Amino acid sequence: MNIPTPLVVLIVILGLAGIGLYCILATRNLIKVIIGLQILVKGAVVAFMLAAHLTQNENFGQTLALTIIVADTIVAVVGLALAVQIRLRTGSLDIKTISTLKR
């Protein structure tokens, strides 16, 4: 059958976003949360490139996607540094244990 390319890629994007969000929602390990974030952002990068492809603006799209990848990498770096510090200070990466908001 003739499934148009954009539809396939859109479903991939949707899938990536959904899996990334689910990973952030349903895990208790802080580092897994960052992994989920990475998956989510990959979906965003693919979305930008798809839009660029559909409007024949590939170079512009690549520039935008570059910005996103850089930003996301920095987030991952800082996030991992935080996770390591939290592990060293409180001895646990469980989001339930490290949450100190008074109820």
Task: Indicate which single residue of 55, 89, 90, 95 sits in contact with another protein (rule: CB under 8 A).
Answer: 95
Asked if residue 50 lies in contact with residue 9, where contact means CB atoms within 8 angstroms, the answer is yes
3-state SS of 26-53?
A: CCCEHHHHHHHHHHHHHHHHHHHHHHHH
Q: Does 1 bind another protein (CB under 8 A)?
A: no
Asked if residue 36 lies in contact with residue 24, where contact means CB atoms within 8 angstroms, the answer is yes
Minimum Å distance from CB 103 to another protein?
Answer: 6
Q: What region does 91 belong to: left with phi over 0, alpha with psi -120 to 50, or beta?
A: left
Q: Does 88 bind another protein (CB under 8 A)?
A: yes
Task: Indicate which single residue of 36, 55, 89, 90 sits in contact with another protein (rule: CB under 8 A).
Answer: 36
- Positions touching another protein (CB under 8 A) are 3-12, 14-29, 31-36, 38-39, 42, 45-46, 49-50, 52-53, 58, 61-62, 65-66, 69, 73, 76-77, 80-81, 83-84, 87-88, 92-96, 99-101, 103
